[in-house]
Amino acid sequence: MASALGFSPSFPGLAPALHPRRDVLRCFASRQSSSGSNEGSRSENAVLKVAWYGSELLGIAASFFRPVRRVEELTEFTDVSELMDRYQVVEAIKQDFQRSYFVTGNLTLNAYEDNCEFADPAGSFRGLQRFKRNCSNFGSLLIKTDMKLTKWEDFEDKGIGHWRFRSVMSFPWRPILSATGYTEYFFDAQSGKVCRHVEHWNVPKMALLKQILRPSRWVWEKP
């Protein structure tokens, strides 16, 4: 057998080292590592989802303490009677970035399907009004925001907007959220409106949560 495999018994250094027990342990350790990694990922996703839904509920609670805005302000960008083509939808999205729509809720509703899907690293849901409400409520937790559209790409069925975002939250420890990322805007083949809005953040998912828990430096400075 050894001769057939090309190994000579007179050169033991060339013989294959067969260690069944060691191989079994190595295989077991590999499975344990993979299992631990999967469990860690599931735990991380669970924590992130809890934080996401918690922030949504916190935003809803905070909305009850916000001053009621005038009707004109609420309807400024919500005209749904005008039909829009692909070019107009893209231009509307770019203008929405100038209004930091992620945190103000001031977006052109006519550019989106009513049942548009909104997704980010924490989860997804459908409903344009829910997205607008979440954006407005989240914005109420911020005292300073800077959001810029840095690049736009056009594709056959979608557009991609690259952005950078930085804000200071109104919590007593004044945490700073800072990230870059991009959003995919998928266009409906029939209406031309956005039917899927998918955010991608260029930071680890848990890093966003840690930023919320980390006090900003100036909080500890004496006046």
Closest CA relative to residue 64, chosen from 136, 171, 168, 144: 136
How much is the mean pLDDT over the chain? Answer: 75
- Does the pLDDT at position 71 exceed 90? no
* Within a domain: 121: yes
Query: Does 193 reside within a domain?
Result: yes
Tell me the pLDDT tens digit for each residue of 167-203: 999 889 999 989 999 999 999 999 999 999 999 999 8
Residue 101 lies in a domain: yes
- Higher per-residue confidence, 74 vs 57: 57
pLDDT interval class at 19 (50, 70, 90): low
Q: Model pTM?
A: 0.67
Task: Please compute the mean of the pLDDT values over residues 118-127 and round it to a whole number.
Answer: 90
Reference 211, options 166, 177, 171; nearest CA is 177
Percent of the chain topping pLDDT 70: 60
Q: Which range marks the domain in which residue 173 is found? A: 71-218
| 201 within domain boundaries | yes
Q: Is 133 exposed, middle or buried (0-12, 13-18, 19+ CB in 10 A)?
A: middle
Mean pLDDT of 126-149: 92
| Residue 205, domain member (yes or no) | yes
Residue 127 in any domain: the answer is yes
**Is residue 25 domain-resident?**
no
CATH number of the structural domain spanning residue 109: 3.10.450.50
What is the pLDDT at residue 47?
Answer: 46
Asked whether residue 112 carries a pLDDT value surpassing 80, the answer given is yes
Tell me how far apart the alpha carbons of residues 178 and 144 are, in angstroms, rounded to a whole number.
12
Assess whether pLDDT exceeds 80 at residue 38: no
Total count of domains within the chain: 1
With respect to residue 196, please indicate whether it lies within any of the assigned structural domains: yes
* Mean pLDDT for the stretch of residues 38-54: 49
The pLDDT score that the predictor gives to residue 43 is 52
